[in-house]
Structure 1
Amino acid sequence: MDLRLWPELAALYETPPDLSSCPLYYVHVDERDTAVTLGFETPQLPDHPRAEWEEKRYNTLRFFVVFTGVDELRITGIAAEHPDMRDRTVGVIVTGTGRQQVSVTSENRSITFSAAASAVTQSRVYLQGSL
């Protein structure tokens, strides 16, 4: 992942988690604002945690990526929390025109689209299970 794409993650990580290894637990398509929000979580803890996290016990970081100016949206094989979406790849490639080509694909399901911009929002840490 190119840290220049999401400075919010660059502030937390020297080497950010690979999105393909992060559980994707949230997908929201907002047709009014032509936006797609993807929610990820990772057990890869930040190298540079925020000051307000330092006193907390946590083992998971959860964050949302909001893609705006979305077009060419294609969704195939919709299924809520289907096992094959755990074994999937996530790609975000910036084209020569500056648009972001986004793909979340598994053997039988996929979400692909083009976006004008994206930003990481609402990142937070929490304790999942026990330490």
Structure 2
Amino acid sequence: MTVPNDWPELRELYGADPLPDLDTCDFFHVHVDERGTSVTFALETSRLPAHPKPQWTEAAYNTLRFWIEFSGVADLRVAGLLADAERAVRIEGGGDGGGTADRLKVSVTGETRSIAFSAAASRVTQTRVHLKGSI
């Protein structure tokens, strides 16, 4: 899976290590901004960063949450509302020429549900760690 512009916000945390594969992250939230043209995904991973923020060392944690905002969204298609446990996350494209061919093509597809759209850009807007318990 290609990560657009390597998301510098995550690259700073992971350094030379590969970024988390979005297919292995828990996809726990989607927000469609009805006033603008953005979609935000929230994901979490147990793959902890090699270079955590200094304030994170003050408490125990085992999970990193991050939010990805896609801006300039067009051609939004949603089928179903609940999350599927098995799903594939794809982000493709995103050259730097500014044309239609340079737009990101984003999709999250499960067995019975999906969301897909194109976006002009993406960025990680927030990162947070927490201690996730086991059930």
Q: TM-score, normalised by structure 1?
A: 0.89
8 Å contact 2:3–2:91 — kept in the other structure? no
Alpha-carbon RMSD: 1.5
Q: How far does the alpha carbon of each residue in 1:70-92 deviate from its partner, in whole angstroms, 9 at most, with x for none?
A: 0000001222xx4xx12101011
The match for 1:123 among 104, 127, 134 is 127
- Is the 1:3–1:16 contact (alpha carbons within 8 Å) kept by the matching residues of 2? no
Q: In the comparison of the two structures, how many residue pairs are matched? A: 126
Tell me, what secondary structure is at the counterpart of 1:27?
Answer: strand
Q: Name the structure where helix makes up a greater proportion of residues.
A: 2
Structure 1 gap ranges (5+): none
Q: Could you tell me whether the CA contact under 8 Å between 1:3 and 1:9 is conserved in 2?
A: no
Q: Map 1:1-131 onto structure 2 (within 5 A).
A: 1-2=2-3, 4-13=5-14, 14-79=17-82, 82=83, 85-95=84-94, 97-129=101-133
Check the 8 A contact 1:3/1:10 in 2, yes or no: no
TM-score by length of 2: 0.86
2:119 maps to a residue whose letter is: A
Report the more deviating stretch, 101-110 or 121-130: 121-130
Give the unaligned 5+ runs of structure 2.
96-100
Amino acid at match of 1:32: R
Q: Tell whether the 8 Å contact from 2:94 to 2:120 is kept in structure 1 after alignment.
A: no
Per-residue Cα deviation, 1:31-55 (whole angstroms, up to 9, x for no partner):
2111000000111000111111123
* Percentage of matched positions with identical amino acids: 52
Partners of 2:6 and 2:48 in 1: how far apart?
19
Distance, in Å, in 2 between the alignment partners of 1:122 and 1:27 is 14
State the alpha-carbon separation in 1 of the partners of residues 28 and 115 from structure 2. Answer: 14
SS at match of 1:4: helix
Q: Deviations over 1:4-36 (max 9, x none)?
A: 331111111121111111111110101211100
Amino acid at match of 1:106: G
Query: What is the identity, as a one-letter code, of the residue corresponding to 1:99?
Result: R
